[in-house]
Amino acid sequence: MRLKPARPGGSGEGAAAALVPAAEEVMAALGAWLDHHAALPRSSAHTIAAYRQDLVAFLRFLTGHLGEPPDFAALERLTPSDIRAYLARQRASGLAAASIARGLSAVRGFFRSLERDHRIQGSALDLVRAPRLPHGVPKPLTRPAALAAVREVAALSDEPWVGLRDVAVLTLLYGCGLRLGEALALNGRDMPAGDAMVITGKGNKQRLVPLLPIVVEAIAAYRRACPFAIGANDPLFVGQKGKRLDPAIVQKQVRRLRPLLGLAPSATPHALRHSFATHLLAAGGDLRTIQDLLGHASLSTTQRYTEVDEARLLEIYDKAHPRAR
């Protein structure tokens, strides 16, 4: 990937945007680094474009900050104060912490490659922490709300088979804890039957998910009513033209349910997966088991549901305890 430095010119803030990002040796190394990542298995053009944008933004900042396009020697001389000045500029521009952390990660990766290639020695980046990301807590539906969503979604469709399809999809999400993408990726050969089914999740990792009879019955009812033939290699859930069901359709149906059932904006198809985990935990489920059922790579991800349970207990305490009134 050939990256050509821009021509400098002008003065002030407008000129800063037109400054040469870096010396030609640095730009050549950056191009090689991006080419290397683009050639990796499962590399994404979107990710490579984001890397390029983040690194060019960093180098442009350094050009203005240092007064000239940085070469390898200048990159080696950077101090933690220089890096913090860059992070401060990013925050001042209104970038979210997640975007800033992603950009800093790209810069770290590029600098590590320069160290491996003996272009620079040591890096101030090792002495600077990434911005702390906000810790999100899952927002599940209550049991009555989750059951109502599964039951009432059929009423939104004029076509009976479409209503049965939507019930089957939401039943899978709430009854088995599937991601929406996992449910819609199922084919005819994956038709749930018996006591369990194999789900292929993120990273093509497979997991065994127990099946409740209500899940099997909901999908069987949909398939009997579906006007399209569903072969072994055909999508299990289809839209009204017989093609694989678009996730946006399911998301739209749940959005339509919110005002009808008095649900919060956080009520989404994914919230049903959160509900599955939270309600299972509240019923005495083991964290390790829930981790396996959800397909989480890390137990720390599953542990977020304990915070939901604790938060709900505190809410009940605040409402019920005599001293809280």
Q: Which of 86, 174, 222, 305 is catalytic?
A: 305
Active-site entry in 179, 223, 274, 279: 179
Please state, rounded to an integer, the average pLDDT across all residues of the chain.
Answer: 81
Contact between 172 and 166 (Cβ < 8 Å): no
Phi-psi region for residue 244, left (φ > 0), alpha (ψ -120 to 50) or beta?
A: beta
Strand partners, 197: 209
| 3-state SS class at 187 | strand
Superfamily of chain region 143-324: Intergrase catalytic core (1.10.443.10)
| Range with the poorest average pLDDT among 91-105, 219-233, 261-275 | 91-105
List strand residue ranges (DSSP E) for the chain, in order.
Answer: 196-200, 206-210
- Rounded-to-integer distance, Cα 314 and Cα 308, Å: 10
pLDDT in tens, 99-122: 888 888 888 889 989 999 999 987
Non-local CB neighbours of 131 within 8 Å, separated by 6+ positions: 87, 91, 97, 100, 101, 104
> Residue 31: its pLDDT value, please?
93
**φ/ψ (deg, to 5) at 274:** -60, -40
- The tokens of 305 are what? 């549901």
- pLDDT, position 316: 39
Note the pLDDT tens digit of each residue in 52-95.
Answer: 999 999 999 999 999 999 999 999 999 989 988 998 898 888 88
End-to-end CA distance of the chain: 65
Q: CA-to-CA distance for 190 and 58, rounded, in angstroms?
A: 47
Give residue 322's pLDDT: 46
- How many whole angstroms separate alpha carbon 197 and alpha carbon 103? 40
Cα 181 from Cα 175, distance rounded (Å) = 15
Low-confidence winner among 87-96, 194-203, 255-264 (lowest mean pLDDT): 194-203
Residue with tokens 């396009």: 69
Other Cβ atoms closer than 10 A to 271 = 23
40 pLDDT band, cuts 50/70/90, is: confident
Q: Is 312 a catalytic residue?
A: no
Classify burial at 288, counting beta carbons within 10 Å of its beta carbon; exposed 0-12, middle 13-18, buried 19 or more: exposed
274 catalytic, yes or no? no
Q: How many CA atoms lie within 13 A of 189 on its CB side?
A: 4
Catalytic residue among 37, 223, 273, 274: 273
User: Does residue 270 carry a catalytic annotation?
Assistant: yes
Task: Give yes or no on whether 12-127 and 143-324 have one common fold.
Answer: no
Model confidence at 132: pLDDT above 90 = no
Do the Cβ atoms of 269 and 254 come closer than 8 Å? yes
Task: Please check the confidence at residue 284 and state whether its pLDDT lies above 80.
Answer: no
- The architecture in CATH of the region 12-127 reads Orthogonal Bundle (1.10)
Question: Could you give the angle at the alpha carbon of 299 between the alpha carbons of 293 and 303, nearest 5°?
Answer: 90
Residue written as token pair 């401060």: 88
User: Cα–Cα distance between 309 and 281 in angstroms, integer?
Assistant: 8
> What's the CA angle centered on 213, arms 212 and 216, to 5 degrees?
95
Partnered with residue 196 across adjacent β-strands are 210
Which pLDDT does position 12 carry in this prediction?
39
305 is catalytic: yes
Residue 131: which pLDDT band, with cuts at 50, 70 and 90?
low
User: CA torsion sign, 68 to 71 to 74 to 78?
Assistant: positive
Contact partners, residue 203, CB within 8 Å, separation at least 6: 297
Residues 299 and 287: beta-carbon distance below 8 Å: yes
Domain ranges of the chain: 12-127, 143-324
Name the 3-class secondary structure at 196. strand
d(CA 113, CA 95): 26
pLDDT digits (tens, 9 = 90+) for 10-24: 333 334 444 568 899
Q: Which of 129, 202, 243, 288 is catalytic?
A: 202
